[in-house]
Every structure is written in C-alpha cells, then in structure tokens.
Structure 1
C-alpha cells in the first residue's frame, strides 16, 4: 500500500542561473525628452553579437526576475532591441541575460551590450564597475565601457528611481508603471486556464462573459488574414468585432493567444504562403495588439501539416525531406526575425498537433529566439496518456514519450529536445486539447466522461510544466461536438466542471503530483495544491475503478466536493482518519491541518 509523507511533496525546480553581478548602480546620464508618459514602459538594449555555428547569442531581458522577452542578436554591429513591459517599478532589478553560450573549434559565441535605455533614460555603462560572476569559473572584471558577456550569465543593474511628483520632465528618473491587477498571479493555477473561443466562427459576442465566468485567463482567438491585409502591403485596422473582444479581454485581465493564420489567398493569390509577406503581417498584428493594450502571444499558424502539405508536398508526419515542413520552418524564421526586430518582448510559438512534427521542425532549423512550441495533445483515451507509444514506428528515429506513454513525458522530452537545440529551455503551450461527445469510446466520449477529463487534463498538463492549456472549445460551431456549449447555447456538463475547477484551484499553487506519477494508465492520481490559508488535494482513479483514499488526521481534511461542486462526505474512523472513495471523476479535498507528519494511503475498494 503506497504511503507518502507531506514533507516529501516539493515544488518543481528547473535549472540554475549563473549571475553577473554589478557593483555600484550604473550611473545615469542625460535626460529624457519631456512629454506624456506612454501607457507602457520601453527598455531598449543596444547590443551586438559574435555568432558561432551560424547562430547568434540569445539575449533575454528580465524585470524583477520576470522574463520580458528574448531575441537572437544577429547583428555584429550595435543594434537597438526594444522591449515593452507592462510593469516597471522604480529602482527595479533589470537583467540582461546571455542564454546560449557555446564554443568549439576556435569559435566562441559572445554577447556585447553597448548601452541600455529605460523609459528613454540612458544608463552609462562606461562609468560602472561591473563584476562578472561566472560561477565555478570565478570572478573577473570587465573592461570599463565595454560589457562583454563571453560566458552564459546575467548583466544586472538597478533601474532608475521614480521622478518626484509634479516633475515637468524626467532627468535620470522614470514614472513607474504598475501592472493592473488581474486577480490571478503568475504561478497560480488560474494562470494556466485557457479556452479556444469561437467568436470568429459564428459564436455570438453576447457569450463573451462566459470566459470570465469560467475563470479563463487565456483565450485563443483570430481573424482571417485578409481582414487585416486585404491587398499586398496594405494593412487596415482589425475588424470591429475582434477589437471589441480584445478590449473585453484587456479589461478583464485575460491574455490572447492570437493565431496568425498562414495563407492570405486574397492578397497573394499566387503565393499565399510567402514568408517575407507573412513576417510583415505578423509585425502589423503585434503592433495593433500592443496598441490595444491586451496581453498576447503570437501563434504561427494552426496545424500547418493539415494546411500546406497539399500545397508543397512531403510526408504527413514531417519526416525530412518534406517540402511543406521546410517551408513552414522558413515562415517561422521570418516571422520571428521581423517581429523581434520590431519588438523583442513579443512572444512567438511554432505550432502543430503531433509531437513528432516539432522534432522535425527543430531539425529543419527553428530560430533560437523562438519562445516555444504550441502542441495539441489529442488522445482518444485517458488524458494522462499520449497518443503515441515510445516505439511507434512513424516517430522514428526519435522517441517522443517514455515507455509509460505518459503525456507528462511527452512534454518533458520535447522541452529537452528544444533545450538541446536552443541552449535554453523553450516554453510549451497546449493550445488545443479536448474530446468529442457522443458515439462510442475511446474515439468519442460521453458528456459525463468529458466532464471528468476536462479538469484531469488541466491538472495533469499543468503538473508537467506547460505555460497554459487552451481547452477546445467554447462552442461546437463548425467543428462538431467539442464545445462547452452546443450551437443552440445549451451548457454541457464540462462547462460546470470547468467552473468548479477554477473556483476550487484558481488561487492555489500546484505543488506536486504526490501519487500516480509512475502509473499514468491506472490507479489513483493525487495532486497537491497550496493556498494562502489552506491546502487542497485533487484525487481521481484513472481507469475508473472505485478506490479509497485515506488521509491521516494531521492533514486536517475538512471538506470534499465533487467535480460539479456537490458536497461529498468524508468518512472518519475511530482514530479520526478521514477517507473518501474516488472514481473517474476528480474530487477536491480541503486540508487545514499542519500536514506533518501526516501520511496518505490508498487502497483498492
């Protein structure tokens, strides 16, 4: 019988950071032009790079330890890279990080930072004594006036102080910019909750409050390319309906994963997938989204193998040589190049639904400053499993999952594959996942099964470390019975399980999977969450067999609710040990005790 102690449950920690520490605060010189302060804060880093093996240094900007954006510094002469942040306190910690150091055969990739402007205020690096901490290598001083990062590390300095109230102009000071509260902090479970909305495919705009009702913090939305670029190089304002949606998202603290559809047949009937034109459109989309003020991530197309294989040819799973995959990789490179040159803080994701295609895209040459991969881990069976096995023949020569076939291992392996190529860890975004209703399992599932699979998917994928999970979808629309709503706007049961999941876990931080990580296809899975005042466990039986979860009295199990919010009774024995029976449907258990030296045991019913 498995036994776990609460003291063994630990949050995940990934990687380590080597830090460059500056001595005295960088001296400020000059003054910014007087005038109104923009609604966001712009930091401009002038840098140049020494490439190695055809790849330039990747530079990342962080403010108070939070990543703002990253860019490959391709230029060997000084070039300005612009980062826009929505949060810039006075005297904040600002880091310029060199991520992908490499050297061999006489070559040595390096990053050289020439100057930094914070909200227009220049920082004079030449007047600062910089200390470069290279970890085990030791400490060395940089030459004054030249901040060369020859090894992976961080150039860290304090931002300018706040200007006095009523100051008519800024001279070595800034007007702090504070992010509007969203009701959901980074790292809380709510920050993962996303939804594919169908407003561009017929869902009425009157349904938009549902995203707030469901606790959604990211939506996936889009419009046709011709609505923004009706003719070559002529860009127009986004359609009014999309603008209204974006303003709603902005005003309610909801970010947008914007799908930049690949082809523009109206503007380019002979070459709808021309990479340079696609990059220009990507810049315009980024510009308009930034002007509206909504948080956003750009997704480079949607399942390109379903769209352009028939145009360019090649193998459906992307195995090289495949002309369609090589062409798509070129579109990714061009979009990233142009958008990062416009604003380095914009986040971009490549996309496809099959794990293996991302491996082949890396082989084809994705840019090192691509922020991450968008995946669609559809699977006809349990949400804890991937759709392929470790020895699936058409994924060779790669192994995309562990022998246990867990979706968590698929996420981990793709992240590791990207890190090996990029020299840094890429983000993984699940921009579609779901099942269809009706018919026979496992190809389709019942409404009851779907209601259970929804929170199990979010919790399992969040535990694997993905940035966000976009459930597919808000309404059936044109795609068939996937929706939380039918086309006549009736709410299916998963609508309510999503509400309950957000209510029970939204403000909590996921700590660990405490049971079931080694048996993804069977047994009980238990995940632990920590809130400001108490903790929660979420438990279910993967294969649906009824099993009993027993909790020691010291855990202080005080209440339990089912996946649709119904109160469930906790049984207690003479010693005060609580227990509850679980099946396929997740159960939320509130813990109020100190937790130590409590134990959790599970037994078959």
Structure 2
C-alpha cells in the first residue's frame, strides 16, 4: 500500500505512463549518437531526428565537468583548492581586455592570473577563457569594440595560455547584447535581419578567428552565446570556416516544472522566428540538436559545443511548487551536467563557483552550499565512467523517468530520476552482484524488497546512482500485489 501511495504523489500523467509501461532496457551504444558526431553528418537528419539529440562524446564524464569562476571579480584564490577537491576539469575564467591593454600593443597580465594558470597546469584543469569586454578608453576612446584590436587581445591570450602549458579554448565575448554591444550599436536583443550589434559581433568573430589561426591554427576558438536565435542570425554573416565551436547558456526558468530538460519558452515565441529552433516538446536537447545542425550547415562541418553557463539562482518563484530552494538546486545540478553531456557538449560549466548573489556554490561568508556537495558527489560517482546510452526517456526527455547508463572499468552505473517528483518502482538489475544505491550527495540509500525479492527504489527529482547492474535493467511501477 505504501508504494501505491507514493505513486499517487507523483505527476498523474507520469504515474499513468508508469502504470501501463514495462521498461525493459538493453545496454549498448546508439547508432544515432555515432551519426551525430560523424564528420559527414546529414544536416537535415540531425535537425529533424530527435534520436540524434543523444550524442555524448566518447570521453569520461569527469572530463566534461566545468565551473564558472570569478577570480577576476574578487573571488578569493583560496577557492583554487576547492576546484581540486570537487574534481573540476575545466574553468571559465577571464581577464578584461580594458585592464590588460592599457597602452596600445602592450598586454600586461595580472600576477594573480598567472598564479591561476600555474595552478590549472599543475592540476590538469583546462580554461575556457572568455574574451571580455571593451577596450581601455585610452587605447580606443571612440571604438571600444574595435574588431582588429579585439583580435590582437585574443592572440595575446592565446600566447599566454600556450606558454603556460594550459589546455584552453577562447570564447569570443560573453552575452554581447547584455554586455555592451547592443547599447553601443543598437538592434533587438534577440537579433533581426538588420541588427547592428549582430553585425558588429560577427566582425569581431571574423577578425578574432583570422588572427588567432594565423598565430597558431591549432588554437581553439568559439563563439559565445546570448540567446538561441542570435546564433542563427550571426551565422548568416559568413563566419569563418576555421571556427572550432560555439557556446550555449541553456538556462531553464519558469518552465512549469523544475529541471534543465525543459526550455522556458515555446518554439512559436516571437523572438524565435523565423527559425524553427526547437521541437514541439520544448526540450533543451532539441534546442541544442538543432543548433548543432545549423552550425554544421553554415560552417560546413560539425563543431564542438560548449555549455559555458548553466545553473540556478536561489529564491526564484517563491511560493510556487518549483521555487528554487537550495535543496532543489542541489537536486537539479547533476541533471544539468548529465543532460548537457547527453546532448553532446564537450564541457558543461556550472554557474558559478562564488559571488553573483545566490548563484554560487560557495556563499559570501565562505560556507559551502548543498550544490557544492552535490557536484563533488556527482564527480565521485560518475567521473571515471563514460555515458553510453539513455535507457529510459528517449521517447520523452521532458517528462517522467529519465535513466542514463554509464560504463567504466568497474562495470556499469545508472543515474536515474523522475522529473515530476516522488514515485516508487521495483528495479531488476538482472545481475547477481548486490545492488548499491547512492543519493545525489553520495550517501548510501537503504531499500526494502517486495515479495519476489526485487528491491523497491524511490525516485525523485534528484538523481540516484546505482551500482551492481548488468547488461539490462527492468524498471516497473510498484503494484499492490507485490507489496503483499
């Protein structure tokens, strides 16, 4: 009876789906994901086939884990040790152009930044270096976003990182309509056919790529993000074929249910037109899949995708079911990373380490939020594993149970949750090894058994991590008969 009551607490639709569905899952790599990352990708297939939205790269999950840091904005360097403690493999760091080039052609990098680069090198941490923002007024008093000057700043950053021996990617600006370009040049925030700030950003991209590739063709350089539709507009400006990738910020707020799976707008929104930038399901995965297709079409080959910001500010939607409390943010954090990796991101960067109000993993008083421990546990649980398949949810990534299979030297591991909230299921691993279950903080979870010996697992919005599984898993709604 208890299991049935728990089922009723979940979303009604999800409960009905569970009640009629027996989810039998076989392990194996998806042909769809291989097609999605192939050099000769069929753009129209990628754009229109939802199965190709699942495209994890063949690397360990831990190699994708990134974090936005604010060391150039006053964050203490004491937090460097926290990067190592959490298992962070990438940061998104920056030093403003105007503070680096105070005299034309002279680039003076702060000692604290050089210290950070030394730490990154020693600890195997890569840097997505955001090239931000305007020039020093003494250098370009009337032209603060001079494309040629910005390109030289990009080359100076590339040289510094190369000399420091740090793996890096250059990200061209950050949210340009929010941070200066729209105010300077004008145009709609979401872009339009005649949008001066889009035109100018494209010039900055063209010049930055030209100069960086002339310095070293192996240096990676990517566009930034402002809004999904703005990518489509600046891709109309004949961006250079040497571009290596693009960044996205798939923030998902106000979707009606918490979670990174669902975008907070629909495909018919005015700012999305005239493009079809997402599927009818409003999934973030479809946004990323279609954008990957657009870049592949315009540049002529698939590009790397970097999620350089994604997170949750606490306190939003107060009084509603999906108010972003600290507990909820900690529950959603692993889903951000898992969904990003599933969509094909090379790096997923949580926003942020510290500062900027309630976004940070570490509070201003230096105490750690629950999101800190959730991230650390996620890396400990999944870092040495590679995502190989979505076992449950491929037919609907925005609702119901979602389960992802990982494989490592120690065998298989499953990350599973229910988008709508609490529900109880029986779980058959089909494997003689005893099952081990951990919550999103890495704490071992007890579970009871039904009459036929199958364990009962409680799923909720936070993922649980399951060890001791074999070549298939069977998840079944808890029935009244099995509790007798």
Please report the TM-score for the alignment, with normalisation by the length of structure 1. 0.69
Q: Distance in 1 between matches of 2:359 and 2:162?
A: 31
Q: Is the 8 A contact 1:189 1:510 kept in 2?
A: yes
Provide the residue aligned with 1:244 in structure 2: 115
Provide the residue aligned with 2:327 in structure 1: 448
How far has the Cα of 1:552 moved from its partner? 3.9
Judging changes above 3 Å, is the alpha-carbon distance between structure 1 residues 192 and 16 closer, same or farther for their aligned structure 2 residues? closer
Aligned residues: 435
How far has the Cα of 1:576 moved from its partner? 3.8
Which of 342, 346, 349 pairs up with 2:222? 349
SS of residue in 2 equivalent to 1:458: helix
Q: Is the 8 A contact 2:25 2:392 kept in 1?
A: no
Judging changes above 3 Å, is the alpha-carbon distance between structure 1 residues 555 and 513 closer, same or farther for their aligned structure 2 residues? farther
Which of 435, 444, 448 pairs up with 1:558? 435
How far has the Cα of 1:426 moved from its partner? 1.1
How far has the Cα of 1:330 moved from its partner? 0.5
Judging changes above 3 Å, is the alpha-carbon distance between structure 1 residues 579 and 259 closer, same or farther for their aligned structure 2 residues? same
Judging changes above 3 Å, is the alpha-carbon distance between structure 1 residues 552 and 221 closer, same or farther for their aligned structure 2 residues? closer
How far has the Cα of 1:251 moved from its partner? 0.4
Matched, 1:492 2:369: yes
Which structure ranks higher in relative contact order (CA pairs < 8 Å, sequence separation ≥ 6)?
2
Provide the residue aligned with 1:287 in structure 2: 159
Q: Is the 8 A contact 1:553 1:578 kept in 2?
A: no
SS of residue in 1 equivalent to 2:421: coil
Q: Is the 8 A contact 2:429 2:468 kept in 1?
A: no
Higher strand share: 1
Q: Distance in 1 between matches of 2:425 and 2:346?
A: 32
Superposition RMSD in Å: 2.1
Q: Distance in 2 between matches of 1:7 and 1:456?
A: 21
Matched, 1:13 2:30: no
How far has the Cα of 1:566 moved from its partner? 1.5
What pairs with 1:85-484 in structure 2 (closer than 5 Å)?
Answer: 187-236=59-108, 238-266=109-137, 267-306=139-178, 307-380=180-253, 381-441=258-318, 445-475=324-354, 477=355, 479-484=356-361
Q: Distance in 2 between matches of 1:521 and 1:353?
A: 23
Moved more, 277-286 or 434-443: 434-443
Q: Distance in 2 between matches of 1:548 and 1:342?
A: 57
How far has the Cα of 1:17 moved from its partner? 6.5
Task: Please list the CA deviations of residues 49-97 of structure 1 after superposition, one character each: whole Å capped at 9, or x if unmatched.
Answer: xxxxxxxxxxxxxxxxxxxxxxxxxxxxxxxxxxxxxxxxxxxxxxxxx
Task: Please list the CA deviations of residues 552-598 of structure 1 after superposition, one character each: whole Å capped at 9, or x if unmatched.
Answer: 433745200001121112433454433311111110000254x2xx4
Judging changes above 3 Å, is the alpha-carbon distance between structure 1 residues 438 and 298 closer, same or farther for their aligned structure 2 residues? same
Task: Please list the CA deviations of residues 310-335 of structure 1 after superposition, one character each: whole Å capped at 9, or x if unmatched.
Answer: 10011110112100000000000000
How far has the Cα of 1:402 moved from its partner? 0.7
Q: Distance in 1 between matches of 2:296 and 2:478?
A: 41
Q: Distance in 1 between matches of 2:114 and 2:340?
A: 31
Judging changes above 3 Å, is the alpha-carbon distance between structure 1 residues 382 and 567 closer, same or farther for their aligned structure 2 residues? same
Task: Please list the CA deviations of residues 244-264 of structure 1 after superposition, one character each: whole Å capped at 9, or x if unmatched.
Answer: 001100100000000111311
Q: Is the 8 A contact 1:553 1:576 kept in 2?
A: no
Q: Is the 8 A contact 1:485 1:495 kept in 2?
A: yes
Moved more, 517-526 or 394-403: 517-526
Q: Distance in 2 between matches of 1:8 and 1:355?
A: 32
Q: Distance in 2 between matches of 1:434 and 1:471?
A: 6
Q: Distance in 1 between matches of 2:282 and 2:171?
A: 27
SS of residue in 2 equivalent to 1:453: helix
Provide the residue aligned with 1:536 in structure 2: 413
Matched, 1:579 2:450: no
How far has the Cα of 1:201 moved from its partner? 1.0
Provide the residue aligned with 2:15 in structure 1: none
Q: Is the 8 A contact 1:452 1:586 kept in 2?
A: yes
Q: Distance in 1 between matches of 2:36 and 2:358?
A: 41
Q: Distance in 2 between matches of 1:211 and 1:279?
A: 30
Higher helix share: 2
Q: Distance in 2 between matches of 1:3 and 1:201?
A: 49
Which residues of structure 2 form unaligned runs of 5+? 1-20, 42-56, 480-484
SS of residue in 2 equivalent to 1:467: strand
Q: Distance in 2 between matches of 1:560 and 1:325?
A: 49
Provide the residue aligned with 2:477 in structure 1: 603
SS of residue in 2 equivalent to 1:212: helix
Q: Is the 8 A contact 2:69 2:353 kept in 1?
A: yes
How far has the Cα of 1:405 moved from its partner? 1.0
Which residues of structure 1 form unaligned runs of 5+? 19-98, 101-184
SS of residue in 2 equivalent to 1:4: strand
Task: Please list the CA deviations of residues 367-418 of structure 1 after superposition, one character each: whole Å capped at 9, or x if unmatched.
Answer: 1111111111111142111233222222111111111111111111000011
Q: Which has the larger radius of gyration?
A: 1
Please report the TM-score for the alignment, with normalisation by the length of structure 2. 0.86
Q: Is the 8 A contact 2:102 2:136 kept in 1?
A: no
Q: Is the 8 A contact 2:430 2:469 kept in 1?
A: no
